Structure formats: C-alpha cells, structure tokens
Amino acid sequence: MTGGATQGSGIRFDRVSVAYGGNIVLDRLDLTVEPGEVMALLGPSGSGKTTALRAVAGFVRPVSGRVRLGDRDVTDLPPHKRGIGMVVQQYALFPHLRVRDNVAFGLKARKVAKAEIPERVAEALELVGMAAYATRYPRELSGGQQQRVAIARALAIRPGVLLLDEPLSALDAQLRSGMLAELARLHRELPDVSILYVTHDQVEALTLADRIAVMDKARLQDCGTPQELYRRPRTEFTASFVGNANLLPVTVTGATGAVDFAGHALAVPTGEVAGGVTATLCVRPHLVGLGDGPNALTGTLAEVQWRGSTHRLYVDIHGHRIKADLRELRETPALGDKVTVHFAAEDAVLLPAGAGFGGGVHG
Amino acid sequence: MLVHSRTGKWATWAVFFLLFVPLFAVPLLVIVAASFTTNWSGAFPSGPTSEHYKAATSGDSLQALTTSLITAVSASLLALTVGSWAALAAASLRRRGRRFLDGLFMLPVAVPSVVVGLAVLVAFSKPPMLLNGTRWIVILAHTILVTAFAYQSVSAAIVRLDPMYEQAAASLGARPSYVLWRIRLPLLLPALTAAAGLCFALSMGELSATMMLYPPDWTPLPVQIFAATDRGSLFTGAAVAVVLMGTTLLVLLGVARIRTRASYR
C-alpha cells in the first residue's frame, strides 16, 4: 500500500509524561518504534501501556515530552490530523453502518476521490479475508470477524502507523491464536507499517513483536527483542512478567562463578558482578530438572499441577517456592515429599540487586 | 420481580388489574363511551349516536385539530433542535457547566406551566418582541415547555453513548463536525425520535399555558375541549377528546416505528 501521508514513519516518544489530576500514569517514556517495526508494549493493567498508545492516537495530552510520527511532531495535533490507524479491544465498529461503509468511513472523512473508494474498500476487506461480508451489519458478525473488519477499516486509510490496543483479548483462546497468525501475515504483507501493539499477554508479545517494551508502574522497565528479554532479562520485573521466572536471592561469594543461596553454593555465570554483592538469580521453570544434577537443591513438594503435556511442581526450599515445569511425569511425587531439583549453570541469569533499565534504548 | 408459583402469578395479575383498570382504563373508556352518547343520566349511557364525531371532525374542531398538529410539530421540532444542541454542548462542558445547564433546563419543568404562560405573555407583549395575538406566541410557549424534556432525554442518551465510537472516527481522520453528523447523531437517533414523540404528546395536550396566550384564530384542541365542556356540551367535548387522543396515539405509533428501525443491536 502506498500513498499514505505518514507512510513508513515510525513513532518516537521523547520523555513523554501523562498525568490525570496529579496522578502520573506515564512517567518520562523514551521509546522509538522504527518504520516497519512491530513494537509490543507489554505490562500488567495500570502499567501505562494503553496511556502511551492513547498519547500517540491523540486521546490524551502529555503534560510534558513530545510525540513524533516520523519527522512530524504531533503532540499538539488533534486525533483526526494524525493519520494513524487504530484498533481497539471492543472493535468499535459503527453499528449503524454496513461493513463496507465502516471501512469506507475513513476514506470519506479524508475526502478520498469518490471513484477510488470502492476499490480501496475491496482491497482492505480482501486483505483481512472479509470481502464476502461487505454488505453485512457489524451485529451480524462474530467477534473475530468484527475484529478483522476493524483492522480493515484502520488499514484502508493506509496509515504509516497502526495502533493495536489489546486487539485479541475479547476473543476466545482458539480464535486468538488464529488471529495472531493473521496479524503476523498482515505485517509481512505491509512491511512499511509500524505497529504499536499493546498487550498484557506475553505470548502475543513474544510471537508477534520485533521488540518488546516492558512497562510497569507507569515506567518503561525493559526493552529488547523477545529473545533478549526471555533469555537475558535485565530486571526482576521482566524476568517474572515475561516467562514467569524463579527469582532467588543470592550473594556472590567472591570466587568467579559462585553464589550462595541460603547456605548452598551454586555455580552460575556471575559475569562482572563483584564478590559480596547481593543479587537475584533468575531460572526459567522449564529449565529446572527433577532429581540430582548440577546446582541441586532439595526441598518439600508443596503443590503439583497437571497441565496435560507438563507437570508443574512447586517446591519449597528454605522458604522460597521454586516452580519447575517438567514433561509429564509417569509417577508424581506425593505432596510433602522431599524432592531434589537442579538446573544447569548456563540456564541461570544473575541480576545485580537494584538492577534497573536505564532507558534511552533507541532503535 | 420474578414470580414463580402459579398462585403468585395469578395474584400479581389480579393486583395489576385492580390498580390498572380503575385508574387508567376506566376514565378513558368513559370518555369513549360518552362520545357516542346522547344521554347519560343513569349508571350507563344511552342513545348511541355518531353525531358528535361529525361536529368533532368538521368546522371549528377540524380547524383546532390542524392548529394543534401544526403547533405540536413545530414546537417539538424546535425543542428537539434546541434541546439536542444544548445537550451536545453540555456534554463537552466540565462538570460545573453541565450542572448549570441541567438546572437551567429543569426550570420550565419545575415552574408551573401557567407561570411559564404568563411569563411569555408579559415578555412578548411589547415591541420589539411583540408576538402577542399571533400563533407564534403559542408555539413559542410550547417550545419552552417541552425543550426541557428533549434536553433531558437526549443528554441521558449522550451519557450512555460509548466514546470509543467518536474516538475510532477521529482516528480515521474525521473532523468533529463530521463525527457529529455521521456517527453521534445517527447513534442518538433512537433517543432523538423518542424525545420528539414525548415533546409532541406533551404539546398536543398542553392547556394551562395555552389558555393564557392563544389568539382567537389559533385555538388548539385542548382549548376546544375545555370550551365545549365549559358550555355544557360534554359529549361533543368527549368526541373531540377522543379525536385528540387518537391523533396523538397515531403519531406516536408512527414515531415508534421509526425508532425500531433506527435502533441497532
């Protein structure tokens, strides 16, 4: 698609803060979404991720900082002059207009030549596989179909930037994975469109995003590619929110590659962390094994959950509960049994205490 | 309230009829019966006739019917325009401004309509605002009286209107005026037609303010009914009342049909 006013523009947050009545909901966000990049804003509710998206759309006004689309500073522009496409959780299809008129709405509002409109509507509906439903009303469509139409409506104006606000959270699990694949395909077909994707679901973020910005308590906590964040989280929050890691308080014992966890010596890569420093050891549940091995720890089995293909064991070790995801066990140990778990040194990541994300990561 | 037992259901229906029939149905049925009667001295009317309807649908009464229809249609359209405009403006105000407007538009409801009629009479009896003696003063008074209802029902609907539609429209590049005409007003259409129906019905039945204002060549139906009964022609008055009732109901039914077509989901 070509011809959009903001084609391939990218988004840039420049120390953007938003406050509602003295309550800071977005605190000095610095973030750049490159042209054609999919950036997921991942965080729990109230983390400021939706506020950041609404600041780009123009529905909240930052108290300080600038929002740029490409080389345009749009901070002071009303929403209708920004040239962005937006899709929200509840679809927001206009109930009194047929599908094709919903999709044509943006084109008519922007005074696109009349002769051109039917063609572009058909093109957008084709893109999301909804061409056969052009004359239906939104109420006659299922949730997934409505979401496709909402995406077609946003794309029909050929925006350089597409904002997706929890677009899949109103769909059931099966539809969601289908739509996720669909969104990935759409992005491949429209490689110039920057996508800002707000979600609280780590699977959606990991699957779809080129980079993930992790948000919590109104601030950007971490930003990186999905692999970086998953394998080498930089903060405790990222480690636990993305992939639900085990976090153990440890002390670096001086010797390289050794830490102390409640009197147990563990061998892990300590990198440049100095001896005597307290730190947090991060181990993914699926990398914890049952039985003896390197870095073995023994504790009491507190809970077992059967999850079909896996068993999750919760083991209490010195007052810390360790989660272990294991391939379905033939025989599960009984609750209260002594069990031993272990993990390989290279599967652990050491986070220095108070490790924070410095921000300022651009591109 | 959900009633499950059979006796409970019967009891509920019995209470309903005991209250509904004497309070609402009987007075209306009496008027209908009286309109077909030449003599009603005993417990039941006698001497059935349709003569009263000849009088009620010709001459002065027919004139009064058109007068009422024109007055009610003009007043409700004016009230709908002014009331919706004010309600839309109020919605974009901060809380204090909105409260002020809400209060202002409550006034004609809170003040007795006789007082409104008198106020209009005093205010528009001298140049340069001389409307006294013309039909316009009646239409004006009706508009003032019913605008409050239009304002209230439209602003209640605006509160219920999900802002996500406006925001979606704005993000698609629609100016605020385009959003108003293409999104907000169409979505408010059910409320607008309901408000129009309410205003129409209220205006059709308005008597007290009209009595103070109507010029001799602009006599609405309620005044005609009052005059007929006042001079003792009770049965003719009843026939005119039935015509008033029927016309109003017909128009309301028409409005309701538009409304069903305009309501979505």
pLDDT tens, position by position, B135-147: 889 999 999 999 9
pLDDT value at residue B104: 87
B139 and B195 fall within a common domain = yes
Cross-chain Cβ contact B176/A106 below 8 Å: no
Identify from B166, B172, B187, B265 which residue to disrupt to test chain A contact, counting A C-beta atoms within 10 A and taking the largest count: B172
Q: Which residues, in sequence order, are CB contacts of A124 under 8 Å at separation 6+?
A: A103, A152, A153, A155, A156
Cross-chain Cβ contact B165/A78 below 8 Å: no
B169 and B96 fall within a common domain = yes
Number of domains in chain B: 2
pLDDT (tens digit per residue) in B29-49: 888 888 887 777 777 777 777
Identify from B160, B171, B178, B185 which residue to disrupt to test chain A contact, counting A C-beta atoms within 10 A and taking the largest count: B171
The size of the A-B interface in CB pairs under 8 A is: 73
Cα distances (Å, whole numbers) of residue B144 to A53, A123, B197, B206: 45, 52, 16, 12
Give residue for tokens 């496709």.
A148
Q: How confident is the model at residue A2 (pLDDT cuts 50, 70, 90)?
A: very low
B105 and B195 fall within a common domain = yes
How close is the nearest chain A Cα to the Cα of B197, in Å?
22
Residue B101, H or E segment: helix B95-110
Residue B17 structure tokens: 């009829």
What class is the A246-352 domain? Answer: mainly beta
Residue B142 lies in a domain: yes
Does residue B232 surpass a pLDDT of 90? Answer: no
Interface of A with B (CB under 8 A): 57-59, 78-86, 88, 90, 92, 94-96, 105-106, 109-110, 137, 139, 153-154, 157, 163
What is the domain extent for residue B41? 6-48
Q: Which residues, in sequence order, are CB contacts of A65 under 8 Å at separation 6+?
A: A13, A14, A15, A16, A17, A28, A29, A75
Q: What are the start-end ranges of the E strands in A230-344? A: 246-252, 258-261, 264-267, 278-283, 288-290, 297-306, 310-317, 320-327, 338-343
Of B145, B215, B217, B173, the residue nearest A154 (C-alpha): B173
How close is the nearest chain A Cα to the Cα of B171, in Å?
5
How close is the nearest chain A Cα to the Cα of B95, in Å?
15
Of A223, A227, A145, A157, the residue nearest A190 (C-alpha): A157
Give the CATH number of the domain where residue B128 resides: 1.10.3720.10
Query: Are A200 and A215 contacting, i.e. CB atoms less than 8 angstroms apart?
Result: no
A354 vs B79, higher pLDDT: B79
Query: Are B225 and B241 contacting, i.e. CB atoms less than 8 angstroms apart?
Result: yes
Give residue for tokens 């649908």.
B57
pLDDT value at residue B109: 82
pLDDT value at residue B132: 79
Tell me whether B185 touches chain A (CB under 8 Å): no
Does residue A184 surpass a pLDDT of 60? Answer: yes
Q: In degrees rounded to 5, what are phi and psi of residue B79? A: -65, -40
pLDDT value at residue A302: 92
pLDDT (tens digit per residue) in A318-337: 888 999 999 988 888 889 99
B32 and B124 fall within a common domain = no
CA distance linking residue B105 with residue B117, whole number of Å: 16
Contacts 24+ apart (CB under 8 A), A311-316: A312/A285, A313/A339, A313/A341, A315/A339, A315/A341
B36 and B10 fall within a common domain = yes
B71 and B44 fall within a common domain = no
Per CB-CB distance under 8 Å, the chain A contacts of B169 are: 94, 105, 109
Domain ranges of chain A: 11-236, 246-352
Residue B186 structure tokens: 């169409």
CA distance linking residue A271 with residue A201, whole number of Å: 31
pLDDT value at residue A63: 94
Tell me whether B136 touches chain A (CB under 8 Å): no
Tell me whether B169 touches chain A (CB under 8 Å): yes
B13 and B114 fall within a common domain = no
In whole numbers, what is the pLDDT of chain B averaged over residues?
87
Residue B214 lies in a domain: yes
Does residue B96 surpass a pLDDT of 90? Answer: no
| Average pLDDT score over residue span A150-168 | 92
Residue B1 lies in a domain: no
B131 and B215 fall within a common domain = yes
Quote the percentage of chain A above a pLDDT of 70: 95
Cross-chain Cβ contact B169/A85 below 8 Å: no
From A59, A110, A137, residue closest to B173, measured CB to CB: A110
Per CB-CB distance under 8 Å, the chain A contacts of B261 are: none
Residue B230 structure tokens: 């006042």
CA distance linking residue A150 with residue A183, whole number of Å: 13
The sign one gets for the Cα dihedral B67, B68, B74, B75 is: positive
Cross-chain Cβ contact B170/A79 below 8 Å: yes
The residue in chain B having the minimum alpha-carbon distance to the alpha carbon of residue A60 is B167
| Average pLDDT score over residue span A204-230 | 92
Cross-chain Cβ contact B171/A137 below 8 Å: no
Cα distances (Å, whole numbers) of residue A345 to A97, A352, B60: 60, 17, 103
Give the DSSP letter of residue A131: G
Per CB-CB distance under 8 Å, the chain B contacts of A137 are: 264
CATH assignment, A11-236: 3.40.50.300
ipTM score of complex: 0.81
The residue in chain A having the minimum alpha-carbon distance to the alpha carbon of residue B190 is A96
Per CB-CB distance under 8 Å, the chain A contacts of B167 are: 57, 59, 79, 86, 88, 92
Quote the percentage of chain A above a pLDDT of 90: 56
Cross-chain Cβ contact A106/B172 below 8 Å: yes
User: Residue ranges of the alpha helices (H) in chain A?
Assistant: 49-57, 99-109, 117-127, 143-156, 173-189, 202-208, 226-231, 236-241
Q: How confident is the model at residue A1 (pLDDT cuts 50, 70, 90)?
A: very low
Does residue A224 surpass a pLDDT of 80? Answer: yes
B15 and B107 fall within a common domain = no
B13 and B70 fall within a common domain = no
Of A335, A72, A42, the residue nearest A197 (C-alpha): A42
Cross-chain Cβ contact B167/A96 below 8 Å: no
CA distance linking residue A201 with residue A15, whole number of Å: 25
Tell me whether B165 touches chain A (CB under 8 Å): yes
How close is the nearest chain A Cα to the Cα of B2, in Å?
30
Q: How confident is the model at residue A4 (pLDDT cuts 50, 70, 90)?
A: very low
B119 and B216 fall within a common domain = yes
pLDDT value at residue A107: 94
B126 and B243 fall within a common domain = yes
